[in-house]
Amino acid sequence: MLLKVSYPLHLVYKGITSFRNFLFDQGLLKEFHPEVPTIGVGNLTVGGTGKTPMVDYLLDLLSDRNLGVISRGYGRKTKGFLEIRPSSSAEEVGDEPRMLADKHPEARFFVSEDRVKGIQRARDLYSDIHTFVFDDVYQHRYLKPDFLILLSDYHRPFYKDHVLPYGRLRESRKGADRADVVIITKCPLDISESEKKGIEKEVRRYSTSPVFFAPYQIQVPQNGKGNQLEKGSKVVLLSAIAENKKFFEQQSKNYEIIKHYAFRDHYKIPPIKIKEILSKHQDVAILTTEKDLVKIRQDIGTEDLDRVFTPVVKVEMGEDFGKYLRTQLGFVEKP
- Evaluate whether 75 touches 95 at the Cβ level (below 8 Å): yes
Residue 30, C-beta contacts closer than 8 angstroms, at least 6 positions apart: 142
Q: Compute CA distances 302 → 93, 194, 215, 282, whole Å.
A: 24, 51, 35, 14
- 291, burial (CB in 10 Å: exposed 0-12, middle 13-18, buried 19+): buried
- 318, burial (CB in 10 Å: exposed 0-12, middle 13-18, buried 19+): exposed
Helix (H) or strand (E) holding 257: strand 256-262
Alpha-carbon gap, residue 194 to 89, rounded angstroms = 46
**pLDDT at residue 335, as a whole number:** 47
**pLDDT at residue 48, as a whole number:** 76
pLDDT, tens digit, 9 for 90 and up, residues 9-48 = 989 999 999 999 999 999 999 999 999 999 999 999 997 7
From 286, 289, 280, select the one nearest 304 (Cα to Cα): 286
pLDDT, tens digit, 9 for 90 and up, residues 217-271 = 999 999 999 999 999 999 999 999 988 999 999 999 999 999 999 999 989 999 9
**pLDDT at residue 75, as a whole number:** 87
Residue 284 per-residue DSSP state: S
Alpha-carbon gap, residue 333 to 335, rounded angstroms = 6
pTM beyond cutoff 0.85: yes
